[in-house]
Amino acid sequence: MCGILCSVTFSSGEPVDDNALNAQLESLRKANAERGPDSSVWYHTRVEAKDPMHRNVDIACYSSVLHLRGDTVTRQPLVSADGNILCFNGEIFEGLDINKHENDASKLFGLLNASGSDDIAKVLGSVEGCYAFVFYHNSSKRLFFGRDPLGRRSLLLHIPVTSNDSLVITSVGGSDVPQMSFEEVCTDAIMCLDLMTNTRSTNLPSSAFAIPLSEVPRKLESRVFTRIPKLNVSWTETEPQIQTIDDQILPSHALHGLTSQFIQTLEESVRLRVKDIPYQADGNIARVAILFSGGIDCTVIALLADRHVPPSEPIDLLNVAFENPRKLRNQSQTGKMKAGQNSTTQKVVDPYAVPDRESGLEELDELRTLCPGRIWNFVEVNVDFEEARSAQKKVLALMYPRQTVMDLSLALALYFASRGKGRVLNPETRQSATYISTARVILSGLGADELLGGYGRHRTAYQIGGWSKVIDELQLDLDRIPTRNLGRDDRVISSHGKETRYPFLSIPFVSFAAGLPVQVKIDPRLPLGCGEKMILRLAAARLGLKSASTRKKRAMQFGSRSARMEGDQKGHLLVDAES
């Protein structure tokens, strides 16, 4: 995990306010430095124009590094003897042979250095992982940048609007640089800028262009990593294959084999995301944490992680709860009405007894029963109202350019959960103590609802138009995964020097899920807690997670009560519109 910051300045021959640019870049540097506490380096170079009609180009690259691969910290930007530069933020899990002692950014840099500029997109298309990058290819004078096809890492772009402005690429923007307007870099193409085709009369090189990933060879060493697959659109109008999740699925049943494949594919995705994480200190402290609401998605991920994290290490379960004044007022009024208005006794309400806390504790018991040798640190992250309010300015800057009320509700929950500061109850002494998670890798169950039909609108689609409408809705969910929340979540969580990994969103698992018949993933004819994400529920039951297998969907902002703390704001409105 790294913070990336790159500025490209085209010399126009006119006076430039370097102090203003430097102040803006310094603000962005500080924001990016939070992402990588182990190293931070600037590197500057000038690309000299060969033609007097063209402009010189100054490139400034900055990287901060969170050490998660290899034996030692690999400082970035990486610079080769022939002048190539790489800033790489992310992890490569497949497509490139990397042993536990090696660093993936260094291995990728070696491949890029050995490639011509026309092959850069092919190299990126051959690997699978969560990444964003900036790569300067010196011999061709071209600058490449982009994100992985699912957009699992943030990368923002500011396009110059005046001749004295700079092009800026950064992992995180913020509100401290109002002179710059950022947008998220697209995920369906590798962007390329030819720096030597600019003229003195233009703000940007005339040959700025994109290399669509669909034009990259889809198959390299028999692996497809470059494009999100389309859904299996086949369906048949048959009776439901099960009646309840407790139905006995015999080996002869079609769902038996598919459930086994589902578990194996998801487990492999989890294994790749928890293996070879460097030890920071004592080997008995947590290296892996899970965003843990007690829902089926995160609980299955936790159980599979137990199989591949050394048994002597704890796993942190990060469970966040907010003191929500609006909810507490409603609870108090309801309690008074039940007790009678003249009652002198009033039940004391625990402000942190939120739905996700209750379900989290239930699943903690289930995990401890199934994995008795593991220390599960159930981290109660309690956020009082004033602390949440005081963090809003910071969180708004991190989630930018996302700015809606719903974005803020979700970002607040992720910000405090990933910080990992709370209390842990000792199950033997029943005493709780202050705890700060040491885990630098955080697993998230995000993606299961989109891939497997976990939302209420999937049931609505069936009611409106049957199976074909469900398929259309699932395809829409799949298509917009790269543009929805992943960039925002990366900017928020990484501000604590943590990295999020998504087992449900590995390209191999996405391909597997997309290829399943729709009636294996969801059957809206079955009741809630059974029909949605049906194959995941069958997998959870097979794994022994009986309680989790029937748990109903609950949105994070409502389960943690980070939403609507001061009023009944509409989620689609801009935050500024509410003030």
DSSP type of residue 481 = G
What is the model's pLDDT at position 212? 43
* Domain termination residue (choose one: 192, 215, 238): 215
Within a domain: 457: no
What is the model's pLDDT at position 198? 61
Within a domain: 387: yes
Within a domain: 477: no
**Strands 142-147 and 128-137, bridge-based pairing:** antiparallel
Active site residue 530: no
Within a domain: 456: no
Q: Are residues 129 and 258 in the same domain?
A: no
**Is residue 484 classed as helix, strand or coil in its secondary structure?**
coil
Residue 361 is encoded by which pair of tokens?
A: 């504790």
Q: Are residues 188 and 301 in the same domain?
A: no
Number of domains into which the chain is organized: 2
Q: Are residues 205 and 349 in the same domain?
A: no
- Beta carbons of 8 and 198 less than 8 angstroms apart: no
**DSSP bridge pairs for 434:** 423
pTM of the model: 0.92
Helix axes 405-419, 385-399, angle to 10 degrees: 110
What is the model's pLDDT at position 552? 93
CA-closest candidate to residue 401, choices 174, 104, 128: 174
Rounded Cα distance between 129 and 240, Å, is 36
**Is residue 136 classed as helix, strand or coil in its secondary structure?**
strand
In tens digits, the chain (579 residues) has pLDDT values of: 689 999 998 876 555 567 777 888 999 999 999 999 999 999 999 998 877 777 788 999 999 999 999 999 999 999 999 999 999 999 999 999 999 999 999 999 999 999 988 888 889 888 999 999 999 999 999 999 999 999 999 999 998 877 677 889 999 997 666 678 899 998 887 888 888 776 444 444 434 444 443 333 333 222 334 678 889 999 988 999 999 998 888 888 989 999 999 999 999 999 999 999 999 876 679 999 999 999 999 999 999 999 999 999 999 999 999 998 888 887 766 555 555 555 555 566 889 999 999 999 999 999 999 999 999 999 999 999 999 999 999 999 999 999 899 999 999 999 999 999 999 988 777 789 999 999 999 999 999 999 999 999 999 999 999 999 999 999 999 999 999 899 999 999 999 999 999 999 999 999 999 999 999 999 999 999 999 999 999 999 999 999 999 999 999 999 999 988 776 777 778 886 444
What is the model's pLDDT at position 70? 94
**3-state SS string for 54-68:** CCCEEEEEEEEECCC
* Domain termination residue (choose one: 189, 215, 241): 215
Within a domain: 124: yes
Question: What tens digit of pLDDT does each residue of 521-554 get?
Answer: 999 999 999 999 999 999 999 999 999 999 999 9
Which residues does the annotation place in the binding site for L-glutamine?
Answer: 104
Q: Are residues 510 and 416 in the same domain?
A: yes
Q: Are residues 384 and 441 in the same domain?
A: yes
Within a domain: 354: yes
Q: Are residues 421 and 279 in the same domain?
A: yes
The helix or strand, by DSSP H or E, that contains position 561, with its residue range, turns out to be none
Q: How many residues does the chain have?
A: 579
**3-state SS string for 141-179:** CEEEEEECCCCCCCCEEECCCCCCCEEEEECCCCCCCCC
Q: Are residues 175 and 80 in the same domain?
A: yes
Distance of CA 416 to CAs 211, 251, 331, 362, 410, Å? 38, 44, 24, 22, 10
The helix or strand, by DSSP H or E, that contains position 90, with its residue range, turns out to be strand 85-94
* Domain termination residue (choose one: 215, 238, 269): 215
Within a domain: 47: yes
Q: Are residues 333 and 423 in the same domain?
A: yes
CA-closest candidate to residue 36, choices 390, 496, 396, 573: 496
Q: What is the CATH number of the domain that holds 324?
A: 3.40.50
Within a domain: 534: no
Q: What is the CATH number of the domain that holds 47?
A: 3.60.20.10
Q: Are residues 143 and 286 in the same domain?
A: no
What is the model's pLDDT at position 569? 72
Which residues does the annotation place in the binding site for ATP?
Answer: 291, 354, 444-445
**Where would I find the beta strands (DSSP E) of 339-493?**
376-383, 421-425, 432-436, 441-443
What is the model's pLDDT at position 342? 53
Boundaries of domain holding 279: 254-446+486-516+554-578
- Beta carbons of 513 and 134 less than 8 angstroms apart: no
Q: Are residues 329 and 205 in the same domain?
A: no
Write down the residue that tokens 């250095």 correspond to: 113
Which residues does the annotation place in the binding site?
Answer: 104, 291, 354, 444-445
Q: Are residues 68 and 201 in the same domain?
A: yes
What is the model's pLDDT at position 339? 54
Q: Are residues 298 and 350 in the same domain?
A: yes
What is the model's pLDDT at position 527? 95
How far does the chain reach from its first CA to its final CA, in angstroms? 35
Catalytic position from the list 2, 61, 87, 298: 2
What is the model's pLDDT at position 565? 79
